[in-house]
Chains A and B, each alone.
Chain A
Amino acid sequence: MDLQTLTYIVVGITFTLYIGIAFWARAGSTSEFYVAGGGIHPVANGMATAADWMSAASFISMAGLIAFFGYGGSVFLMGWTGGYVLLAMLLAPYLRKYGKFTVPEFIGDRYYSRAARIVAVICLIVASVTYVIGQMKGIGVAFSRFLQVGYETGLLVGMGIVFVYAVMGGMKGITYTQIAQYCVLILAYTIPAIFISLHLTGNPIPQLGLGSTLSGTDTFLLDRLDQVVTELGFAEYTTSKRLSTLNTFVYTLSLMIGTAGLPHVIIRFFTVTKVSDARKSAGWALVFITILYTTAPAVAAMARLNLHQTIEPAPGEYLSYEARPQWFKNWEVTGLLQFEDKNGDGKILYTANAETNEMVKVDRDIMVLANPEIARLPNWVIALVAAGGLAAALSTAAGLLLAISSAISHDLLKGVFMPDIDEKQELMASRVAMAGAIALAGYLGFNPPDFAAGTVALAFGLAASSIFPVLMMGIFTKSINKEGAISGMVAGITVTLLYVFQHTGIMFVASTSYLGDMSPNWFFGIEPNAFGAVGALVNFVVAFAVSKVTAPPPDHIQHMVEDIRIPAGAGDATGH
């Protein structure tokens, strides 16, 4: 059977599975819609959270980034996992104890202010929409690529599928669908990695293979990789830093607190039965995430080594362009891999020197998708990788859409503007909001205003600078009042947005950039994507300063803070 047919079949089976599950578990009440009725087991919830969390960026892009940044790519690994430690200890159990549906609801109650709730909703929507646009674009690319249709058609098909199961199922449907999606994406990620590790090092476990010697030699894989890349003039793989130590530090911190501040991840911990389960659930989520995240460095290093060894099989002996393998030709068609015979010898010279380098384009995003082909794995593995990439993009988009729709229907409509609507109307409003969000994200996906990997990091920066500090202060201090919280959120998100816009343009339109995307203009050399941590610091400082000079929170709020610190009496998550 040819690859295309097989891909259709594998993707078709997985989608039928997701839609079937969404239909079977469709929501009947608002409680089921928002938090799956509060009855999800911590392990199941952890698995769903992992699928929700790992987007197309984790599945498709991350290993590619690490492959080319080497050690510098570690910011994504530590940043996107370390945030779970903060979640488990600083936020999840207390928000579960508090027991309402949404993050802005907690902020509104804790800071006894509708204004605070509205500001939180706006921050949440800005961060989530930024993120979801990237996902919709990923969905469009993935669908068009694997169904062999145009990008627009691919995006429309993807939007339709997201709509069906997110809108019909709500959180309950999404939770069970995401469990299925986790299984698909983790198999799709690890199976090729196991094959490749076995082939290169003889060790079937990629995490161990990365530290092993190459098959039939005494040379360690990483040493060989360091040697190969430095001979070609690239920075040493295992030590190449990303800009500066300070930038690496701030970038990692920004991704960590962004992880802990992203609302679609936080609301996951409202879906378990007990406070103690919320802590455990964060641990299980991280276990399932770590399976992929510790495999990624192995995939990255092995892909980079494979790529170089294909092009230069022996020192000084370059591959003839005519003899290039099939996967090379396949990716040339997409334009993501380009060769230009500068010296006219018909051989492929790949170096770090732009003058002589003949591999004029090697897109880092192709690494994970091309890997099974490079390693000559069977077609069913390649089809599985396709299904895994789609599962990653779809599950994250659905989770984000749920966070956006609940912010609009529950926090804005029910909570502020139309408190009299009944459960049914609220559910309807939520579905309409979700459909609206899909349409908006889809529209921006058709006309992407230069949204790339930076957008995803920006979404984290926005969540880091606005939501995380205000939640943490709400639990760990009794002295922060509503004036402090509101000015903190506004200051944090504004500083971050302005910093990003000054370098990349307002709404990423490059011509409106007022300082230029130039490192000399960076504050202490911190790149815009990493700036969320600085925004968060601004948020904390402003909130404390403003709270100092205004009236302290009323007594009942101080009691409420004491109460959420104690697990006893949590009960079910409710909206009332």
Chain B
Amino acid sequence: MTDNNSDMRRAYWQANVKLMLVLLVIWFVISYVCGILFVDALNSIRIGGYKLGFWFAQQGSMYGFVAIIFFYSHRMAALDRKFGVND
């Protein structure tokens, strides 16, 4: 690629980093915040037989991780096409 589209590349990268940071915050919240730091507080809430904090630690965080990756993959594919940088 030539320098002419270096602005476009920068914009693509910024969009990527922004998306990534948002998703990393969610990643942190569902595992470290809900599963570890505030687990005791969340445990006072129940869904079925699960205490909520325990559920996040042993079930919910993992479903969340899967969703994050597919969402990222989907959005990045759209970004690749929008900026014309797909391979």
Chain A residues close to B by CB (< 8 Å): 66, 71, 74, 77-78, 81-82, 84-85, 88-90, 93, 97, 207, 210-213, 220-223, 238-239, 245, 248-249, 252-253, 274-276, 279-280, 282-283, 286-287, 290, 293-294, 297, 562-563, 565-571
Contacts and interface: CB of A to CB of B under 8 A. Distances in A.
Interface in B61-87: 61-63, 65-66, 68-70, 72-73, 76-77, 80, 84-87
B62 A71 contact: no
Contacts of A71: 39, 54, 57-58
Interface SS majority for chain A: helix
Interface in B28-46: 31-32, 35-37, 39-40, 43
Contacts of B24: 85, 89
Contacts of B77: 276, 279
Contact of A290 (B37, B40, B62): B62
Given A89-B24, A211-B48, A566 B12 contact: yes
A286 B51 contact: no
B31 A221 contact: no
| Residue among B37, B39, B49, B84 facing the most chain A CB atoms (10 A cut-off) | B49
Nearest to B80: A567
Contacts of A88: 69, 72-73
Contacts of B68: 85
B69 A286 contact: yes
21 contacts: A74-B35, A77-B58, A78-B36, A78-B57, A84-B65, A85-B23, A85-B24, A85-B65, A88-B69, A89-B69, A211-B47, A211-B50, A239-B43, A239-B51, A276-B77, A279-B77, A280-B73, A287-B66, A567-B80, A567-B86, A568-B80
Contact of A279 (B31, B40, B55, B76): B76
B50 A568 contact: no
B35 to A, nearest CB: 6
A84 B57 CA distance: 16
A220 B48 contact: yes
A565 B9 contact: yes
A395 to B, nearest CB: 21
Contact of A78 (B13, B35, B85): B35
Contact of A274 (B62, B63, B84, B87): B87
Given A88-B72, A238-B43, A286 B66 contact: yes
Interface in B1-38: 1, 9, 12-13, 16, 20, 23-24, 27, 31-32, 35-37
Given A212-B48, A238-B51, A562-B9, A249 B32 contact: yes
Interface of B: 1, 9, 12-13, 16, 20, 23-24, 27, 31-32, 35-37, 39-40, 43, 47-51, 54-55, 57-59, 61-63, 65-66, 68-70, 72-73, 76-77, 80, 84-87
Contacts of A566: 1, 9, 12-13, 85
A238 B54 contact: yes
B87 A276 contact: yes
A74 B57 contact: yes
| Residue among B23, B65, B86 facing the most chain A CB atoms (10 A cut-off) | B65
B63 to A, nearest CB: 7
A252 B27 CA distance: 13
Contacts of A568: 1, 80, 84-87
Contacts of B66: 283, 286-287, 290
Nearest to A248: B36
Nearest to A287: B66
Contacts of A282: 69, 73
B49 A276 contact: no
The 10 A-B residue pairs whose C-beta atoms are closest, nearest first, are: A220-B49, A74-B57, A283-B69, A279-B73, A297-B58, A211-B49, A211-B48, A570-B87, A568-B85, A211-B50
A82 B61 contact: yes
Nearest to B27: A85
Nearest to A256: B31
Contacts of B35: 74, 78
Given A88-B73, A89-B23, A568-B1, A77 B62 contact: yes
Contacts of B27: 82, 85
Contacts of B12: 565-566
Given A210-B50, A568-B87, 9 more contacts: A77-B58, A78-B57, A82-B31, A84-B69, A88-B73, A566-B1, A566-B9, A568-B1, A570-B87
A567 B20 CA distance: 16
Contacts of B39: 71, 239
A282 to B, nearest CB: 6
A220 B80 CA distance: 48
Nearest to B83: A566
A290 B63 contact: yes
A276 B73 contact: yes
A89 B87 CA distance: 17
A89 B49 CA distance: 34
Nearest to A90: B20
A279 B59 CA distance: 23
Given A77-B58, A89-B72, A293-B62, A222 B49 contact: yes
A276 B61 contact: no
Contacts of A238: 43, 51, 54
